[in-house]
Amino acid sequence: MNTKLVVTDKPEPNELGAIGENLSAFNDADVGPSERRTLAILVRDEAGALKAGINGYTGWGWLFTQWLWVDESLRGQGMAGRMLQAAEDEARARGCHSAWIDTFNPVAEKAYTRQGYEVFGELPDFPIGRTRKFLKKKL
């Protein structure tokens, strides 16, 4: 079989979907189904505008928080902790035993450690001058 390696910054959505589907099928056969489910926490103001949120998923008994954002108007008011608590509660309801998150922001790291997360790994200079930290928590 002849193959060709293609490097692109504009892959087709169906190609990305095929990569994900094939990897998921491989992993399911290797370690069992992930039972992956999206999990989002949304914070809206009285007009319905999004002011904070979490985007992540649960799978293989873990909660992964991919993105956590708080609008500047709500920072310093414990919103990150409240959203993480809501995500953790939902993860427990889904049967999860642990959670993980990563950040290179020292302020975010403090919020996560206040919530009970602990650093288990580091990636220096990601980005340059910062250290990306990986944190976990038993639920």
Identify the CA nearest to 64 among candidates 19, 25, 98. 98
Which sign, positive or negative, has the C-alpha torsion 59, 105, 109, 123? positive
Q: How confident is the model at residue 54 (pLDDT cuts 50, 70, 90)?
A: very high
Roughly how many angstroms between the first and final C-alpha of the chain, as a whole number? 48
How do the domains of the chain map onto residue ranges? 35-138
Q: What is the pLDDT of residue 33?
A: 94
Q: What is the pLDDT of residue 78?
A: 95
Q: How confident is the model at residue 118 (pLDDT cuts 50, 70, 90)?
A: very high
The answer to whether residues 40 and 29 touch, using CB atoms and an 8 Å cutoff, is no
Q: How confident is the model at residue 29 (pLDDT cuts 50, 70, 90)?
A: very high
Q: 35-138 falls under which CATH superfamily? A: Gcn5-related N-acetyltransferase (GNAT) (3.40.630.30)
